[in-house]
Chains A and B, each alone.
Chain A
Amino acid sequence: MATPLIQISGLEKAFSTNESWLGQWRLRQGKLARHKDSVHALNGVNLTINQGETLCVVGETGCGKSTLARVIMGLTPPSAGEIHYLDQRIDQLNNRQRMFFRRRMQMVFQNPYASLNPRMTVYQTLSEPISFHNPQLSQSSVDEKIDELLESVGISASSSDRYPHEFSGGQRQRISLARALSVEPDFIVADEPLSALDVSVQAQVLNLMMDKQEERNLSYLFITHDLAVVEHFATRVAVMYLGRICELSPTSTLFSSPKHPYTQALLSAIPRLDSNTAQPIRLIGEVPTPTEKPIGCVFQARCPYANQRCYESSPSMTLQSDGSSVACHAIEEGRL
């Protein structure tokens, strides 16, 4: 098999919640002790992304999916673990070394109202990355490229001197996509690119993303909470819970036979259009905030099948016969 495009191993990220030195001192048993509190957003994530595929990451608020995207893009450094692009490690590069990879990897953000600079025209927004990464290009060839890009995302080239506020949400998200495509990347991380858009416009943007993928053999890491989009768009799906991946499957396998108890609950909760679907599986409680590094399975507190082993040791991903990988003791032991 060819080398995967992106390989992530043992990725961890903790955010300190008491950054200031003074805030770290606590009185404990009559003594002052220094203690750092942190939120563990990622707790050992292993993932590979192959060339030309769409890997969707799903999960509820606070499970660390956006942090994953930002760490991969190098917007925030990981606390531990490695990220490889083809065969080069990229998580510890300085800005100058990273420049090459910034061209190869681009990001589309959730809110097109916030991610486009309101004071830059579309032309400026697109010409900046192009001429920065291709200083040898002449002005006229940059202009040509911008026109071509805009037309390719369905925005007329004549509107390139307009400002973001003159466009609708869907058009803005197309401009964001054009900006990401402007440096001709191989890999795009899209963090909830559709959630700020209406249904009919979502379809337009999703279609555009699929077209571009076919044209340029792009790989996507697509982060979303909308499972209907995932079912339609993904090659493989990673289900995240509390900073860990609990199931990683080819899309059709995941939707036809979800294995992890969390995946099952998540899928059953999608409000489907047909009326005679089963009652959603009710989970007890809500996603806890991971201020302590979890011991045992991350899902144990809400899992209906949890036993002593689940509280004590953390399950590792095991490959199942149908190509999916699940991290669950109950499945390993055949209890589920």
Chain B
Amino acid sequence: MKKRELAALIDVSFTLNRGERIAIVGESGAGKSILGFSIVNLISKPGYIESGSIKLENKELTTMNLRQLQEIRGKRIAMIFQDPMMTLNPVLTIGNQLVETIRSHTNISYKDARNIAIEKLHNVQISSPEKRFDQYPHELSGGMRQRVIIAAVLLLNPDIIIADEPTTALDVTIQAEILQLLLSICRDNGVALILISHDLGVVSKVAERTLVMYAGHIVEEGPTLEIINDPQHPYTQGLLNALPQMTIPGQRLNQIQGSMPSLAERPTGCAFHPRCPYATQKCKQEQPQFIYSGVSSVACFMIEDMLNEFADTDKEVL
């Protein structure tokens, strides 16, 4: 890496199985959106993928040219962004945008494309889809717009949906509906989902597996419910304990001291050590490796030491 460059992601590895729903959780600046964008190579300049590989089945995505990528984007891997108003073109009708999407990827007539679009709008529970087809985005409410986006994503029957904070801009009651819709669509069509979110409550409703990110690293990975019930990494513990529902009303909340370091000031060793209550000398110098704790995979020296201790006592007992 050159001198004036900053790494947003460092040594991130994970797999996604067919039809699986995973979540990437972290605070702002953790690199979760960059991770989502990297998968379909949507990183804007001056950002670039320095090294590593992203494979869809056996095809390498990082080295593809634009033409090859366009075969993947939308058709195999589709994205839902946070703000539906930014995603939809305000000067085109909903129908035009949907039809355009279908016809740019497949060679079918306008009429057929229109039928597909209306069917998909119907699938996402939009009332009177024929009427909505000719409306403009500003005529729809926020929740309705996000439904249109989901319909657009479904047009080409992708294998993977990457949803970047899909409900953050919505109210709670609408959020609950959109999550329910997303979940049922993934289940019914066997679509894999990568949900990027900062809200552990949302994640627990949708994802089977969760990756927790901190300052460009994945720090913990495991089944969602187990991570929520028994978080291993001190950061995950802190994140969960900081939620108001984890404390008796009126008491002080359990806060994590400090804040996430900026990319330029990433500490040496484990990136979490300045905020970690268990940090030792070793944490300041070395980068912890992933280790399976019995609940989840964690990158933490404390967990590693604990496991080693257990192993030693086991040996003595034997």
Contact = CB atoms under 8 A, between A and B. Distances in A.
A95 to B, nearest CB: 36
B27 A271 contact: no
Given A210-B252, A251-B249, A252-B249, A271 B201 contact: yes
Nearest to B25: A199
A275 B172 CA distance: 17
A131 to B, nearest CB: 31
B200 interface: yes
Given A198-B28, A198-B260, A203 B242 contact: yes
Q: Is the interface of A mostly helix, strand, loop or mixed?
A: helix
Interface of A: 60-61, 168-171, 198-204, 206-207, 210-211, 225, 227-229, 231-233, 251-252, 265-266, 268-275, 280, 282-283, 286-287
Given A168-B259, A227-B172, A286-B141, A232 B201 contact: no
Q: Is the interface of B mostly helix, strand, loop or mixed?
A: helix
A60 B240 CA distance: 25
Nearest to A195: B168
B174 A286 contact: yes
A152 B254 CA distance: 19
Given A60-B172, A283-B173, A199 B243 contact: yes
Contact of B252 (A207, A251, A269, A282): A207
20 contacts: A61-B171, A168-B259, A171-B259, A198-B198, A198-B259, A199-B239, A201-B259, A203-B254, A203-B255, A207-B255, A229-B244, A231-B244, A232-B247, A265-B173, A266-B173, A270-B201, A271-B201, A272-B201, A274-B204, A286-B174
Instruction: Place the interface of chain B in its size category.
Output: 35 or more
Given A170-B259, A272-B201, A286-B141, A232 B245 contact: yes
A273 B204 contact: yes
Pairs of residues from A and B, 5 with the lowest C-beta to C-beta distance, nearest first: A271-B201, A232-B244, A198-B27, A203-B255, A203-B253
A211 B200 CA distance: 26
Contact of B27 (A61, A200, A206, A275): A200
Which of A198, A210, A268, A269 lies at the interface centre, i.e. has the most chain B CB atoms within 10 A of its CB?
A: A198
B179 A271 contact: yes
A232 B253 contact: yes
Contacts of B260: 198
Interface string B169-212: 00111111101100000000000000000111110110000000
Given A206-B244, A252-B249, A269 B238 contact: no
Contacts of A169: 28, 259
B7 interface: no
Contacts of A227: 172
B85 interface: no
B61 interface: no
A270 B259 contact: no
A196 to B, nearest CB: 9
Given A200-B242, A233-B249, A275-B225, 9 more contacts: A61-B142, A199-B198, A207-B255, A225-B172, A231-B245, A251-B249, A271-B205, A286-B142, A286-B144
Contact of B259 (A200, A206, A225, A252): A200
Interface string B244-285: 110101101111100110000000000000000000000000
A190 B180 CA distance: 32
